[in-house]
Amino acid sequence: MNDPLLVVEGLAKSYGGRMGCADVSFTLEPGEVLAIVGESGSGKTTLLNLISGQLPPDQGRVAYRMRDGALRNILDLTEAERRFLARTDWGFVHQDARNGLRMGVSAGGNIGERLMGIGDRHYGKIRDVALNWLDRVEIDPARIDDKPGQFSGGMRQRLQIARNLVTNPRLVFMDEPTGGLDVSVQARLLDLIRGLVAELGLAVVLVTHDLAVARLLSHRILVMKGGYVIEAGLTDRVLDDPQEAYTQLLVSSVLAA
Amino acid sequence: MSATAENYRGYNFAYLDEQTKRMIRRAILKAIAIPGYQVPFASREMPMPYGWGTGGVQVTAAILGPDDILKVIDQGADDTTNAVSIRQFFEKTAGVQTTTETGKATIIQTRHRIPEATLQDHQVLVYQVPIPEPLRFLEPRETETRTMHALAEYGLMHVKLYEDIAQHGHIAKTYDYPVLVAERYVMAPSPIPKFDNPKMHQSGALQLFGAGREKRIYAIPPHTEVVSLDFEDHPFEPTKFTEPCALCGALDSYLDEVITDDKGGRMFVCSDTHHCESRRAEGHVGALGTPITPVTEAAE
Ligand SMILES: [Zn+2]
């Protein structure tokens, strides 16, 4: 087994007495896809914000293996280091593409931003990379100068993915990436994500309320309820043979739907 | 005290009270210490509307001394309404000597131009700035732009230039063209033409920038590196003019288009009026110009 990419230990966060999440621990291996599932209010979004460094925890630690091999607590990083990490070695795919894209900037500019952020200063090369990424996320490269507002919901999500992957990150956080999309659009997006994750060996922390999405994309699942992880394990095991009554309920409600 | 200064009796020298001037000077000193960094200051109401250069006027008021010689230009010209009213303001409130001669001035307040004559070590150039934040166009959140400056995260500036090239085939920005100062801060040079950008680099003069409405002061100390942002395959190019000034024949000055009659007649002339006049006084004549002959010689 590899050295873990992400180590989460004893994370807890409350908001003025109301619990966000508590006592969350897990590790993530390189190339592994972990789904955090639960209903709204279960604490899964709080957890995602904690481990992606966007929210400071009350307790616990989030350690990330940097490209130099050192495991570092992300809370000990300077703001400059954390922001650099977030736009190079990490990606973040938001449910609402408007939060993850610059809507006033062309598709090419959106994809190129991270490259320019790390010092690329050759327009022609940046554009070539953007064209290539549009193709990889199945957007017609002829649309490179169009703005995201001219794209469909599914295309915007695919553009958001391309914008994140252009720096070859090793870890991508995804917050309900297929939420709000039509079923057929969802299916195509899931196929694309699954293909890219496998091809690039990405580690992913995926937050979703949709067990079908978790089943299709993830290797392992954490089930959250009331801020706690109540069940964890390999995806097939948890979904085919849930141990906790709550998980059984979640699974059966999907089957009934 | 001059007769006009009598009208402003009761005001302090150069209008602002000493405490306000000290506050502005502290901001200026900090700005000089951190080239290109925007220093917040408590901008005061001035007896003129925003957009008339209240930021530049406050900076000038704070550094002006009784022995200074002041020049005020607007779009390169000394005789526009804006330039005349600011010059008169300081004649009245400070009683200082004013001039239109670039070389004679110790302080030059400007809107939209840098004079053509190379500025010297004893001179200060004060810019009037409408929008000091170069990142504003793509990132409206001030907390975020402040962090970007603090961490020197300037990729977004190149996104802006990228968009220009994608849309127009070249960097279309011709005014307020962003620069990197002393290899650290990205700065908006105010709406001067990019033609003037190279003059900021290693200038002997101290360059001060005042934004009144936005309450910011920033500076380029003398002899500082100022680099215009660009791409390797789309390098920065100052505007070049294909024809010389119609009045003085200058080939290397920034030209304005001037309509000469109501039949569509037009010509290109130096926007720096003093530069043009002094060249003509030296005997240079453009295609549409008439020689200026000194009176003594004309009598011969
Ligand atoms: Zn001329």
pLDDT at B9: 59
Range scoring the smallest mean pLDDT among A1-5, B12-16, B160-164: A1-5
pLDDT at A255: 62
Q: Which residues pair with B109 in a beta bridge?
A: B72, B126
Fold of the A1-89+173-257 domain: Rossmann fold (3.40.50)
pLDDT at B295: 47
Size (chain A), residues: 257
DSSP code of B300? Answer: -
Distances (CA, A) of B252 to A152, B6, B184, B276, B279: 51, 43, 30, 11, 12
What are the pLDDT digits (tens) for A116-141? 999 999 999 999 999 999 999 999 99
Quote the ligand 1 centre to B55 CA distance (angstroms).
Answer: 30
CA geometry: angle B106, B112, B118, nearest 5 deg: 45
pLDDT at B137: 82
pLDDT band at B48 (very low <50, low <70, confident <90, very high): confident
pLDDT at B197: 98
Quote the ligand 1 centre to B276 CA distance (angstroms).
Answer: 4
Residue in A with minimal Cα distance to B167: A145
Q: Do B153 and A117 touch (CB under 8 A)?
A: yes
pLDDT band at B11 (very low <50, low <70, confident <90, very high): confident
Q: Please report, for chain A, the start and end positions of each structural domain, with discontinuous segments joined by +.
A: 1-89+173-257, 99-168
Whole-angstrom distance, CA of residue B117 vs CA of residue B126: 16
Mean pLDDT of B114-132: 97
Quote the ligand 1 centre to B245 CA distance (angstroms).
Answer: 5
Q: Which residues pair with A34 in a beta bridge?
A: A205, A220
pLDDT at A256: 58
What are the pLDDT digits (tens) for A212-228? 999 999 999 999 999 99
Calculate the average pLDDT of chain B.
Answer: 92
Q: Is the pLDDT of residue B1 over 50?
A: no
Range scoring the smallest mean pLDDT among A12-16, A195-199, B50-54, B219-223: B50-54
What are the pLDDT digits (tens) for B274-287? 999 999 999 999 99
pLDDT at B299: 40
pLDDT at B29: 98
Which entry of B55, B212, B249, B276 is annotated as an active-site residue? B276
Secondary structure tally for chain A: helices H, strands E = 10, 10
Q: Nearest-CA neighbor of A174 among A206, A218, A210? A: A206
pLDDT at B191: 96
pLDDT band at B49 (very low <50, low <70, confident <90, very high): confident
Q: Do A123 and B163 touch (CB under 8 A)?
A: no
Cβ(A210)–Cβ(A178) below 8 Å: yes
pLDDT at B297: 44
Whole-angstrom distance, CA of residue A87 vs CA of residue B36: 25
Q: Sheet containing A6-15: give its strands across.
A: A18-28, A6-15, A59-65, A71-73
Whole-angstrom distance, CA of residue A188 vs CA of residue B87: 67
Nearest beta carbon to residue A121 from set B151, B167, B231: B231
Which residues of chain B have a CB within 8 Å of the CB of A117?
153, 155-156
Whole-angstrom distance, CA of residue A13 vs CA of residue A231: 19
Q: Is the pLDDT of residue A187 over 50?
A: yes
Mean pLDDT of A180-209: 95
Whole-angstrom distance, CA of residue B285 vs CA of residue A166: 58
- Best residue in A83, A85, A87, A123 for a mutation probing chain B (most B CBs within 10 Å): A123
Q: Which residues surround ligand 1, an ion (CB under 5 A)?
A: B 245, 247-248, 250, 270, 276
Residues 6+ apart with CB under 8 A from B72: B78, B83, B84, B86, B87, B90, B98, B108, B109, B110
Could you tell me the sign of the dihedral formed by the alpha carbons of A212, A218, A224, A230, in that order? Answer: positive
pLDDT band at A21 (very low <50, low <70, confident <90, very high): very high
pLDDT at B298: 42
What are the pLDDT digits (tens) for B239-290? 999 999 999 999 999 999 998 888 888 999 999 999 999 999 999 999 988 8
Q: Is the pLDDT of residue A16 over 90?
A: no
pLDDT at A90: 98
DSSP code of B2? Answer: -
